[in-house]
């Protein structure tokens, strides 16, 4: 599951770089490169992207003052996939901890 999450993060990073959104790109690159945090902590960091005002969920892509419709649609799909995989990973991790 971690590999799939990293793949989604990379897809989002590439999309954000195309439209010149470098603030979120930096944050996501740090998460992508994080190989030292325990898995549960890493998943919590990803989960924290989605909460509150000004969160990753609120990001709307624009280029030269024009909404990037196709890119925003793709970003919405990738955000959904990222959130769902992260949530699923939490469930799997908790289930494996309970069975030990």
Q: Could you tell me the residue ranges of all domains in the chain?
A: 2-99
Sign of the dihedral through C-alpha 35, 36, 40, 43: negative
Confidence of residue 100 (pLDDT cuts 50, 70, 90): low
Q: Tell me, yes or no, if the pTM score tops 0.85.
A: yes
Q: With a cut of 90, say whether residue 67 has pLDDT above it.
A: yes
What mean pLDDT comes out for the span 8-14? 97
Spatial contact of 78 and 61, defined as CB atoms under 8 Å apart: no
- For 21-62, what is each residue's pLDDT tens digit? 999 999 999 999 998 889 999 999 999 999 888 899 999 999
Spatial contact of 43 and 94, defined as CB atoms under 8 Å apart: no
pLDDT of 45: 94
Spatial contact of 13 and 79, defined as CB atoms under 8 Å apart: no
Six-digit token string for 58? 């609120």
Mean pLDDT of the chain: 92
Q: How far apart are CA 44 and CA 63, in angstroms?
A: 31
């Amino acid at each position: 599951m971690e590999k799939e999450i990293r793949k989604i993060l990379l897809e989002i990073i590439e999309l954000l770089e195309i439209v010149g959104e470098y603030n979120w790109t930096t944050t996501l690159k740090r998460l992508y490169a994080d190989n030292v945090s325990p898995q549960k902590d890493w998943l919590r960091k990803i989960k924290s992207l989605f909460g509150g005002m000004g969160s990753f969920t609120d990001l709307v892509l624009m280029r030269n003052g024009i909404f990037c419709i196709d890119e925003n649609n793709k970003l919405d799909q990738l955000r959904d996939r990222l959130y769902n995989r992260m949530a699923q990973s939490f469930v799997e991790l908790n289930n494996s901890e309970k069975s030990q």
